[in-house]
Copies of this chain bind each other. A is one copy, B any other.
């Protein structure tokens, strides 16, 4: 089962309040999805994720293909059972990870050859392989195998890459063995070229996917450029289907994406900076590992009601991070994810009242964000 319901669109922006219904429950959109690359959202357990109200998490086909591998996944009956997660899951196709390998992969029309970073073994992944793997993993939402061209790729390269991605999308659609329970999303590519983005969106929309992702953004271009590419793309996507902006999760980009009609986001930022000792707070990012916080016995974020902020101080968390204690990574990860999920909840509440621009003004001011390339209400 997969259904998207558009509940409300803001009068003067593209922001949408919606609901996605899957076999594993409902997702209120717009939503941020914590990344659980290797069958775990780093340092969190399922109880943590439930408590912070993570509605859906991500898995990565590439990593799960290498470990624990297809056979284990098949035997256990998929990722939900493997990690005992009872809510929705989305899997990335493996495309982005494989392309990130750079020198140790080779792309052809047929698929991608790559060398495992774990043991140097050789692999070949075609669109059909990615879908077969994603069918075995069994996520509620799965992604087409795509090429994510670099931000600085030239027109010719990007055009060829985008067209191949569209051809691969067709192959993915044909290979998909479980469309009733797993919604396959198409991924719009086209780099930083308006006409290629439009062509990609139009061709994929014609193929009638149950949802659409916007890929190849936040890959090195400016935020201004990213927002422009969203301006070009989202109007071409069908209103009655969810839109997912891949790999984007900074506070400014979450607002700007939602204002342009994006419903879903994922990003490793929240969890990665946490492990390095940085907190996202209502007052902006704070590098908690800095000496400034050695004797600061106030909460990470005075305006946060998460268990970390209710129970622990900056000084304690700083101490743990300095000592490289696992608990330091845990506490900051929990807080950063909670902060982001709460922000999305506030956005949903604001959209219901046609007040997302007001919320943006407040949040940006406190967070210290300048509205560069920001969505204009005109």
CB contacts (< 8 Å) of A84 on chain B: these are 311-312, 316
Given A67-B319, A316-B82, A319-B67, check contact A42 B326 (CB 8 Å): yes
Contact between A330 and B320 (Cβ–Cβ < 8 Å)?
A: no
Contact between B44 and A327 (Cβ–Cβ < 8 Å)?
A: yes
Contact between A68 and B294 (Cβ–Cβ < 8 Å)?
A: yes
**Mask for A276-306, Cβ within 8 A of B = 1, else 0?**
0000000000000000001101000000000
Question: A315 CA to B84 CA in the complex, in Å?
Answer: 12
CB of A323 within 8 A of chain B? yes
Contact between B330 and A72 (Cβ–Cβ < 8 Å)?
A: no
Closest Cβ of chain B: how far from A59's Cβ, in Å? 12
CB contacts (< 8 Å) of A45 on chain B: these are 327, 330-331
Contact between A326 and B330 (Cβ–Cβ < 8 Å)?
A: yes
CB contacts (< 8 Å) of A316 on chain B: these are 39, 82-84
In the complex, which residues 195-243 of chain A have their Cβ closer than 8 Å to any Cβ of chain B?
A: none
In the complex, what residue of chain B is closest to A47 when comparing beta carbons? Answer: B307
Question: A173 CA to B378 CA in the complex, in Å?
Answer: 77
Closest Cβ of chain B: how far from A73's Cβ, in Å? 10
In the complex, which residues 312-346 of chain A have their Cβ closer than 8 Å to any Cβ of chain B?
A: 312-313, 315-316, 319-320, 322-323, 325-327, 329-331
**Mask for A35-74, Cβ within 8 A of B = 1, else 0?**
0001110111111000000000000000000011001100
Question: A339 CA to B303 CA in the complex, in Å?
Answer: 39
CB of A180 within 8 A of chain B? no
Question: A75 CA to B322 CA in the complex, in Å?
Answer: 19
Contact between A319 and B68 (Cβ–Cβ < 8 Å)?
A: yes
In the complex, what residue of chain B is closest to A77 when comparing beta carbons? Answer: B297
Please provide the 9 A-B residue pairs with the shortest distance between their CB atoms, ordered closest to farther: A43-B326, A40-B327, A68-B319, A38-B323, A40-B325, A84-B311, A326-B326, A75-B295, A82-B316
With A38-B319, A45-B327, A326-B330 given, name 5 new contacts (CB 8 A): A39-B316, A42-B326, A46-B311, A68-B319, A71-B295
